[in-house]
Every structure is written in C-alpha cells, then in structure tokens.
Homo-oligomer: A and B are copies of this chain.
Amino acid sequence: MGHGGGGALSAELVEHVFAPAFGGPVLSALGDSATVRLGGARLAFSTDSFVVRPLFFPGGCIGDLAVNGTVNDLAMSGARAAYLSCGFILEEGVEVAAVARIAEALGAAARTAGVEVATGDTKVVEAGHGDGVYINTSGIGLIPDGVDIRPQRAVPGDVVIVSGPVGEHGVAIMSVREGLEFGAAVESDCAALGGLVDAMLAATRDLHVLRDPTRGGLAAALNEIAAAASVGVVVQERAVPVPPAVANACAILGLDPWYVANEGKLVAFVPREHADAVLAAMRAHPLGAGAAVIGECVEAHPGMVVARTALGGTRIVDLPLGEQLPRIC
C-alpha cells in the first residue's frame, strides 16, 4: 500500500520503474502538473486517479474531490483549469443512485471552479475488482504569460506561506471510516484553489513555488520542494495553523497533522519583497482567510526540512515513507 501513498515508496516506484520505462523530459520535471507547449500556447496538463474510501465523507464526496484535485494541480503552476476529462471505473452492482449523486457533485464542483468537463469514459468491472466508483480526471489550462511557478524555483530568502489550517481532509476521512467522534466534527477542506491563485498572481507574477499538500500532507510538500530546489526549509512549529479538532483527533489516532492530507490548501514560496502583498491578497480571499507565514527558505541543510520547536529546539521533518491513511484521495 505504501507505494501509492505519495511518500518515499511512491517516489521509488516512479524513479525506478516508471521513469526509466516511459519518462521523458517533461515527466522528469515532476511538478504537480506538466508544462507543455502546443500550437504556440503554454499549457499545464495534469492527471489524478481518485480511489477515496468511503465515497461520501463530511464536507464532500469522490465527485467534487476529483474535480478539485486536478483543478488544484493545474493551479499550482499558475494555470486556470479550462477543460477536464473524466474516466469512471464502476464496480458491478454499485447503486446507480450513488453514481448519480457523485456525478451531480462533480458537475457542481466543475461549475464552481469554472472548468468544463469536455470528454469522458466509463468502464465497468466485476464485483470484487473495484470499490464502487473510481474516478480519473485529467485537466488542461493555460499558463499566463510571465508566470513560471515550479518547485525548482525556491531560493534562500523565500517566505513560506500556508493558505490556512492543515489536516482537515485526512481527519474527516478517518473519522467517518473508523466511525470515530472527536467532539467537534471535522469536515474536509475540499475546494478549488484557482481563484485564490489568481488573487495571489494579481499581487505578483513572481510567485516561485506553489504546492497543494495532499497525500503526505504539509511535510511531504515541503520535503519535495526542498529536494527539487536543493534548498533548506525552516518552519516555525507554532506558526503552522492546526485546528483544535484536528489536533485532538491526531492525538487520539497517533497521527501528526503535518503529514495529514489537505484538499483545499496550498503552500507558497514567495520572494521576501512580495510576501506582505501576497499574504494580504490571500487573506482577502475566502479560501485564504487563515493564511499564515510559517517559515522561510534557507541556504543551510539543502534538501532538508527543519522545524523550530516552541521550546527553541529543532527537529528534522522527514518525508513520510508511505501514507498514514491509505486511500485518502
């Protein structure tokens, strides 16, 4: 299971099996989406398969997750999603009413994100060879002129901003999957971030890196950026916003909220001179109201993420080996 978790085992599978077999120059860049040129246009192109369990969870379902996940991958290169494809793998015996509810959620999420579902496909597999509904979405969008956002562009001095509190999606899934109650209910933060990114780009076109901390959470996202750009990242532990209900749930379950998936948050690496303007633009947007500066990019310890604790100590924030919570998206 670890090979699909978005952590170190996933990276191994990509590096040792997939990349040698079919990796080209674009795939090797390894962002959330690929940047390709076609007919003179610079496009972002991304794909994601969704196998979340259960299909319906507090704050969303696999349908809106499938739209927002791919829209967000495109947004992380500054592109506004224009068209989505949608491939359903249905398990024989799944209720048509459930499929219809999922399709409706998918349609509503697409309208909210301003993206059109342009092409689709449906396959059915026998009972025992699926799990109700799996959905793949792929998306394309135009990258605005003058925008060049990718993990490799992180440089020492960049300010690290997170768009809001972390850990909600993973805890929401876990609570319904395990039938647990944590006092206050936690809902998934599932949302499309294209509008928030547009607002940030209005503050400056010179955003260096954007990443949505999904599988592997904030810790994986920061580690991937540190590795891609060969820079160090220092995070102030107390600056990372974690909702109390998420913190409680994680304490009970033995999870670390920094490693829990989000589906409506982003991490930004922003040149110091633009950080205030970008933070203000984020806080003025509904999906960035809880935005906070959580750290900075440094020259020291390239490839490594370090947290400064409340007590003045430091600890290394590792790339997770696998996923704490399988089938989170």
Q: Which among A48, A124, A142 has the highest number of chain B CB atoms within 10 Å?
A: A124
Is B17 touching A99 in the complex (CB atoms < 8 A)?
Answer: yes
User: How far apart are the CA atoms of A4 and B134 in the complex, in Å?
Assistant: 13
Is A125 touching B136 in the complex (CB atoms < 8 A)?
Answer: no
Q: Is A251 an interface residue (CB 8 A)?
A: no
| Known contacts A39-B39, A126-B1: A22-B86 contact under CB 8 Å | yes
Residue ID in chain B nearest A49 by CB atoms: B87
Is A24 touching B116 in the complex (CB atoms < 8 A)?
Answer: yes
Is A34 touching B142 in the complex (CB atoms < 8 A)?
Answer: no
Is A122 touching B40 in the complex (CB atoms < 8 A)?
Answer: no
Over the window 2-35 of chain A, the binary record of Cβ atoms lying under 8 Å from chain B Cβ atoms (1 yes, 0 no) is 1111000010011001100111111100000110
- The stretch among A102-110, A221-229, A255-263 that forms the contact with chain B is A102-110
| Known contacts A13-B122, A36-B82: A131-B134 contact under CB 8 Å | no
Q: Is A200 an interface residue (CB 8 A)?
A: no
Q: How large is the interface on A (under 10, 10 to 19, 20 to 34, 35 or more residues)?
A: 35 or more
For residues 123 through 166 of chain A, which have their beta carbon under 8 Å from a beta carbon of chain B? 123-126, 128-131, 134, 136, 138, 140-142
Q: In the assembled complex, which residues on chain B have CB atoms less than 8 Å from the CB atom of A116?
A: 24-27
Which of B34, B87, B142 is within 8 Å of A118, CB to CB?
Answer: B34
Residue ID in chain B nearest A105 by CB atoms: B21
User: How far apart are the CA atoms of A138 and B117 in the complex, in Å?
Assistant: 13
The smallest C-beta distance from A62 to any residue of chain B, in angstroms, reads 12
Is B47 touching A4 in the complex (CB atoms < 8 A)?
Answer: no
11 pairs, CB–CB < 8 Å, chain A vs chain B: A2-B124, A3-B90, A17-B100, A26-B83, A38-B141, A41-B41, A47-B120, A47-B136, A47-B138, A49-B136, A126-B326
* Given A10-B122, A39-B43, A51-B125, 14 new contacts (CB under 8 A): A3-B122, A3-B124, A4-B123, A17-B99, A21-B104, A22-B117, A24-B118, A27-B116, A38-B82, A39-B142, A47-B85, A47-B138, A89-B134, A140-B140
